[in-house]
Structure 1
Amino acid sequence: MLAATTDLLRLLAVPALGWAAWRDVRTRRLPNRLWYPLGALGLLTLAWDALGHLPVATVGDRLFLVRVGISVLVVVPLAYGLWWIGGFGGADAKALMTLAVLFPTYPVFYLASGAYPAVVTNVGVFSLTVLTNAVLVGLAYPVSLGVRNALRGDRAPVMFLGRRVDVTALPTEHGRLFETTEGFTRSGLDVDALRMYLRWRDTSLAALRAAPAAHRDPESVGETRDPTDGAVDASGIEGGTADGDVAAGDADADAAFDDPWAAERFLDEIEGSAYGTTPETLREGLAVVTTRESVWLSPGVPFIVPLFLGLCIALTYGDVLFGLLRALGVA
């Protein structure tokens, strides 16, 4: 392989981002220290390349500065803005910001079969290519999810957005419930928040399902524990299995208690908002998971996964959208 030294150094981001995508799928947690060396590498390679365009004397020099400006001054704020409005997770935004610094312009790799990436846009901002590729990969996922659900016989209004899982598997799952006791919702209980709640009251999902009426009584909550952040790999997946001393109760409705399930107490005692959970969302989610055998759950795939795939596609093929438009004679 023949390539500029800076472009070869940038390839270190591929295994790093691949590991980040794998870990984010498994745990939904990424250490902040991951981005520091990648950001430093980006600044180093960017400064190295910039020295080759000084003084700014040619059209190529000016194009380099424009492309760097778009990548750093447009893509980076865009990633931050998407995180700020809730469209991105923190790790997704940091990954895109890092790629904007690492890949402001198109790298070039020469192999025996030719030069890559094969399809280069007129704008020439590589981080934008990675982003558009990632969006296309992300859009393809609901289609594949819907086909998979249809083949399994799981047909519902949310079949293109979620998957049906056994309730007993929720302690090791990620995502958000798409169900309420009355139908479907896009703002159901986050499974990480469910784990936090179970750890807080030192119980398990199996215990709640065995005696939901008893656990609905807020007086059944004794000494509480550290809820952690709801991660699957925390010590003790659910928090405990004790609760043999919970008094038996009847199936009274939530209205029989001032604070059913001790939901308000839970949210008052913990730090943070438990992923935007409200007492009503928590109560509704608990009613669902204690009365059903399976539930619809959002796939919870972080955007860093299509971002990694978008980077891999960009480094080999190039810009998929631009290639399609060019094939149609539009670009």
Structure 2
Amino acid sequence: MTLAFASTPDLLRLIALPVFAWIAVLDIRTRRVSSDVWIPLALLGGVLLVWDGWLAQNAGGTVWTHEFLLPAAISVGFVVPIAYLFWWVGGFGGADAKALMVLALLFPTIPQYAVGGVTLPASPPPIGAFSFTILTNAVLVGILIPVALALRNALAGRVGLVSFVGWPINVDRIPTTHGRLLERTDGVSRGRGGLDLDALRMYLRWRGLTLEDVREAPDTYRNPATLPEEPNPPTDGAVTADVRHDGGEALESNHTESEDADYDDPWGADAFLEDIDHTAYGTTPEELREGLEVLTTSERVWISPGTPFLVPVFAGMVVAFTYGDLLVGILL
């Protein structure tokens, strides 16, 4: 089956589908997407935007004003500021915001494809700004994630509010897992907050330790006297980060105080965050200390997987290209 009808700019826009599929997989595995990915996509979007504008202007009439100018203004003038605003208030990560800005350039209007006897999208969105349709689709897909989590937990016999935001894993999986710790020292899971596992990796690398080291001798490493004189680079906490051990070896301690010892800075949490200018994903000393206490006393803990938004964005793209606007379909 071949594409019987599509403008050249719309055909070139199909490049975005495999690229965003790869980005979604990368975001799941590493929670990191290089900024270099967005530059060629933004350049392609800018070229196609100008190209579409030239074609629409030559067509004249309502094609220029209603089919191009108005939706393009909504796409660039609304979606881009929304993406930046959500990034600024912490609702989106940097990669999420850049993705939406790129989509605003790539899809200012509705692309159309005739495949055999079918025209896609099957149900064209009423709002001509296609990037806005992708965004609303992504939000709706994202809403389904807690439902999927709850279903997964229910099938395993785990029921409760926390089942909508996470699941339990063995502690030995923590070093290679992304997300947030949902456990508290009193054993009660909570629906939000908790220690960011990337921040935990930063702390351990800074000290030159592994989680296994800490679990084997928590009383030793709780004592701030065991902090390294020359810490390691903490990296950004990514599982795949290049960890260097050019310093940071844990100092031996002759102290054997219990966990109730009255240290001014248990675990050296304040010292760590001060040394890295408090850039561990908003982690507070209290969150770091509580997370370490939980991880040194528990064998199984609840975490929130923190599914990256780029996954629903890709799903929203696929739905937009094939069906159209999910929100309109639900409301109508």
| TM > 0.5 fold call | yes
Alpha-carbon spacing, 1:288–1:305, altered in 2? closer, same or farther (3 Å) = same
Question: Separation in 2 of the partners of 1:298 and 1:245?
Answer: 35
Q: Name the structure 2 match of 1:232.
A: 239
Gaps of 5+ in 1: 327-331
Work out whether 1:16 is the aligned partner of 2:50.
Answer: no
Q: Secondary structure of 1:283's match? A: helix
Q: Secondary structure of 2:163's match? A: coil
AA aligned opposite 1:125: A
Q: Name the structure 2 match of 1:122.
A: 126
Residue by residue over 1:256-297, the C-alpha shift from the partner in whole angstroms, topping out at 9 and shown as x without a partner, is 101100111101111452000111111011111111111111
Whether the 8 Å contact between 1:200 and 1:239 is mirrored in structure 2 is no
Offset of residue 154 of structure 1: 2.7
Work out whether 1:184 is the aligned partner of 2:180.
Answer: no
AA aligned opposite 1:118: A
Question: Separation in 1 of the partners of 2:54 and 2:279?
Answer: 47
Q: Name the structure 1 match of 2:269.
A: 263
Offset of residue 11 of structure 1: 0.8
CA RMSD of aligned residues (A): 2.0
Offset of residue 305 of structure 1: 0.5
Offset of residue 133 of structure 1: 0.9
Sequence identity (%) = 50
Aligned ranges 1:1-331 → 2 under 5 Å: 1=3, 2-54=5-57, 57-63=60-66, 64-182=68-186, 183-185=188-190, 186-223=192-229, 224-236=231-243, 245-247=252-254, 249-253=256-260, 256-326=262-332
Whether the 8 Å contact between 2:83 and 2:101 is mirrored in structure 1 is yes
Offset of residue 57 of structure 1: 4.2
Gaps of 5+ in 2: none
Whether the 8 Å contact between 1:154 and 1:164 is mirrored in structure 2 is no
Alpha-carbon spacing, 1:142–1:285, altered in 2? closer, same or farther (3 Å) = same
TM-score normalised by length of structure 2: 0.93
Question: Separation in 1 of the partners of 2:91 and 2:73?
Answer: 24
Question: Separation in 2 of the partners of 1:300 and 1:211?
Answer: 30
AA aligned opposite 2:280: A
Question: Separation in 2 of the partners of 1:123 and 1:318?
Answer: 11
Question: Separation in 2 of the partners of 1:243 and 1:300?
Answer: 31
Offset of residue 253 of structure 1: 1.9
AA aligned opposite 1:141: I
Question: Separation in 2 of the partners of 1:148 and 1:240?
Answer: 43
Question: Separation in 2 of the partners of 1:239 and 1:214?
Answer: 22
Whether the 8 Å contact between 1:214 and 1:220 is mirrored in structure 2 is yes
Give the number of aligned pairs.
Answer: 325
TM-score normalised by length of structure 1: 0.93
Question: Separation in 2 of the partners of 1:128 and 1:239?
Answer: 48
Offset of residue 324 of structure 1: 2.5
